[in-house]
Amino acid sequence: MRRLLCGWMSEGVVVAKRIILEMGSGNDLHGGDYTKAALRAVQDALHHSSLSFIRTFGLDSRSMQVEVTIGVQRPDKVDAEKVKASLPHGTVTVKVVKGGLDVPDETSSDIAVIASAAVAVRMELPQAGKA
């Protein structure tokens, strides 16, 4: 087994290493739309990140593994396929877990939905030297 810049290589298999982790939050203030809040949380995370190193090093953005985790109070109400479709690059996986926050309106049956998102990017990078 030998150590590479991007992970461990054993028997010719390179494991992609997490190179980016961005967090975001999003909400739907009226209507209780969990998918809308999740999409806004993902966009918030993406707008905190620049992937200029991909162009700088001549890497292929299609080779990125993008792992999205969404936290909301009602995970079953998030359309994970819509969240997946909102990511512009890479092979995307979406996991929805219990988290976030629902804030009830004291004067009606309306709720404000707050979602959290973590967007992790993994890539296999060229070896920088022998370890």
Confidence of residue 17 (pLDDT cuts 50, 70, 90): confident
The single residue listed with the structure tokens 């920088």 is: 128
Residue 61 has pLDDT above 90, yes or no: no
Quick: pLDDT tens for 67-99: 999 999 999 999 999 999 999 889 999 999 999
Domain boundaries, the chain: 17-123
Q: Are 90 and 60 in contact (CB under 8 A)?
A: no
Supply the pLDDT for residue 126: 61
| CA dist list (Å): 19 to 6, 10, 85, 89, 124 | 9, 20, 22, 15, 10
Say what the pLDDT of residue 8 is. Answer: 45
Mean pLDDT of 89-115: 94
- Separation between Cα atoms, residue 101 and residue 15, nearest integer Å: 35
> Which residues neighbour 83 within 8 Å (Cβ) at sequence distance 6 or greater?
35, 38, 39, 42, 68, 70, 94, 96
The pLDDT confidence band at residue 6, using thresholds 50, 70 and 90, is: very low
Q: Which CATH superfamily is domain 17-123 in?
A: Tubulin/FtsZ, C-terminal domain (3.30.1330.20)
| pLDDT number for residue 12 | 54
Rounded CA separation 38/73 (Å) = 11
pLDDT digits (tens, 9 = 90+) for 22-53: 999 999 999 899 999 999 999 999 998 777 77
